[in-house]
Structure 1
Amino acid sequence: MSEYLSEGSSIKAKVCDITMIKCDAIVNAANKTLLGGGGVDGAIHTAAGPKLLEECIALNGCETGEAKLTRGYNLPARYIIHTVGPIYSGSDKDPVMLANCYKNSLNVAKQNNLHSITFAAISTGIYAYPIDDAAKIALNTIKDWIVANKNYKVEVLMSCFDGKIKGSYDKYLAFL
């Protein structure tokens, strides 16, 4: 398994079901309503149970690139950080908005003293962000955040739906 280590923090990738990971927080690739949907968002809402939807309703949605925190309810993760990735358009704004998803999710984790974070591959499903581009942006953004917050220790796991996604992460982890 490829891994990045720095100042007591780490980043690694693994093929796994994000709804089964025991950690401080998982990061949900949500839509703007935060009310559930397809893909990983739907799987997280289903696994967490109906109380998650109740809490998400009270949050009044989330803008692209932002991040909001809820409890994990029936999940092994204590919390869920919901972030809304960009719908891929090929514009210059796409990488900035995707990077903001990772930065803002890590900022929410730090504000809430959460040290083990599992990310879904944000925007790579129905939002159609090319996986190699998304992996590179994700890993570079997380690495830069770790370097800028060197006094805050965090273990980051990139949850991969399949071997193709893990292969993209592994390729870029080797060069961090």
Structure 2
Amino acid sequence: MSHLTPSGDRTASNRGEPPRRVKVGVGDLAVVNDGATLTTSGLGSCVAVALVDPVTDTRGLLHAMLPSADGNASHTPRPAKYVDSGLGTLVDELASAGASPARLEARLVGGAEMLDLTAAVGPRNVDRARECLEDAGIPIVASDVGDAVGRTVRFLSGGDLAVRAADGFERTL
């Protein structure tokens, strides 16, 4: 499920309240342009791709489980489950929300090597995300990938991405 909030809905920030939070589940994506904070957790071998148009502050977050929809990107019922189809869908939704694909910047998080080292899903997710972003002409401005630790992210207004690792270490990308 994706979420889009009309850009005119700024009531919470106008009243001094904390920004609205939009949770992005596993195999899901969301787009906001109202200052809301996008969050996702449980990033082990999954990868999060955070895209922002810095001019409009239109932001999107993808939490993908697997690298590729294997050629069925247009027919998959859950495109966000896969890096390739999810990224295409995210760029389309960002453009519909007012972002310019030519101005998008990416931050990439996750892709850890957790329990199943034989399948190497985490590194393959990261590789596929990098390939798709390069093909789309979207620069990766920051990343926190690999290792053997899970992560949680908060994608803040202005484009900062706060990453908290399961070991307690927190950084902003």
Report the TM range for the smaller structure's normalisation: 0.3 to 0.5
* Structure of higher RCO (CA pairs closer than 8 Å, 6+ residues apart): 1
Determine which structure has the larger helix proportion and give its number: 1
Q: TM-score, normalised by structure 1?
A: 0.38
Q: TM-score, normalised by structure 2?
A: 0.39
